[in-house]
Amino acid sequence: MHVKGCIFDLDGVIVDTAKYHYLAWRRLANELGFDFTEKDNERLKGVSRMASLEILLSIGNVTLSEAEKLALAAKKNEWYVEYISRMNKDEILPGVENFLEAIRSEGIKVSLGSASKNSMMILNNLELTKYFDAIIDGNKVSEAKPDPEVFLLAAKELDLDPKDCVVFEDAEAGIEAAIRAGMQSIGIGSVETLGKATKVIPNLKDADLTILEF
């Protein structure tokens, strides 16, 4: 296969934002009177903001109205934004920028495919926006992964056939979304969780163009 487009998930692939999501969710849980552990936080990776809140509330056995839930999600996001507004280039995960340079110099198009509504702020703070031909984030999609919407929109914006695109993902739901979109996928993490991906690598640290040979 000749790869024409690479679509990157953001959180967990380009940058480790899970720690900031964790701090903000834990603060919310504590305010509601229960604890929220790092292990609990694993369940929120790749999950949308409102679905994450539902999981958190179920852990604390808390029942709330829709309006109260929206208010809490907004509060959590304010705290999260406080953390990510202080991010800079140093937080780009190892190998990511080199790999982006390498694929662009081959003429491969690049898109973001993330559930996060804070994607733009993060990419700008990391000074990575310039590498992206298209940015599809949580503000542009209505269906969460494993629905393929986010990746199909990315291919459309790149003007490419889904079968010529490769998705980079750290979440199982993201790999499932790539499969449903008819794309190849490279799982970033462990084979145990991402076994359905075309290929799995631990990170992008030493990634070069050979990983795009399928």
**Residue 117 interacts with ligand BG6 (CB under 6 A)?**
yes
State yes or no: is 11 an active-site residue. yes
- φ, ψ of residue 105 to 5 degrees: the values are -70, -15
Rounded to the nearest 10 degrees, the angle between the axes of helix 149-158 and helix 172-180 is: 60
Least Å from the CB of residue 77 to ligand BG6: 6
Which of 8, 13, 15, 21 touches ligand BG6 (CB under 6 A)? 21
State which amino acid sits at residue 83: Y
Positions in 43-72 near ligand BG6 (CB under 6 A): 44-49, 52
Positions in 126-155 near ligand BG6 (CB under 6 A): 138
State yes or no: is 16 an active-site residue. no
**Residue 162 interacts with Mg ion (CB under 5 A)?**
no
Positions in 33-72 near Mg ion (CB under 5 A): 46
Specify the residue, 113 or 162, whose C-beta has the smaller distance to Mg ion: 113
Q: Which stretch binds ligand BG6 (CB under 6 A): 27-35, 40-48, 105-113, 183-191?
A: 40-48
| Cis preceding linkage at 146, omega within 30 | yes
Q: Give the C-alpha separation, 149 to 2, whole Å.
A: 23
DSSP alpha helices (H): ranges in the chain?
A: 18-32, 38-42, 49-59, 66-84, 96-105, 119-125, 149-158, 172-180, 191-194
Least Å from the CB of residue 115 to ligand BG6: 4
- Residue 176's nearest CA partner among 200, 201, 197, 152 is 197
Rg for the chain, CA atoms, rounded: 17
Which of 11, 137, 172, 176 touches Mg ion (CB under 5 A)? 11
Choose the contact partner of 170 out of ligand BG6, Mg ion, none; CB within 5 to 8 A by kind.
Answer: Mg ion
Question: 41: left (phi > 0), else alpha (psi -120 to 50), else beta?
Answer: alpha
Q: Give the C-alpha separation, 129 to 132, whole Å.
A: 6
**Residue 137 interacts with Mg ion (CB under 5 A)?**
no
Q: Which stretch binds ligand BG6 (CB under 6 A): 38-46, 88-96, 177-185, 199-207?
A: 38-46
Q: Contact positions toward Mg ion, by CB under 5 A?
A: 9, 11-12, 46, 170-171
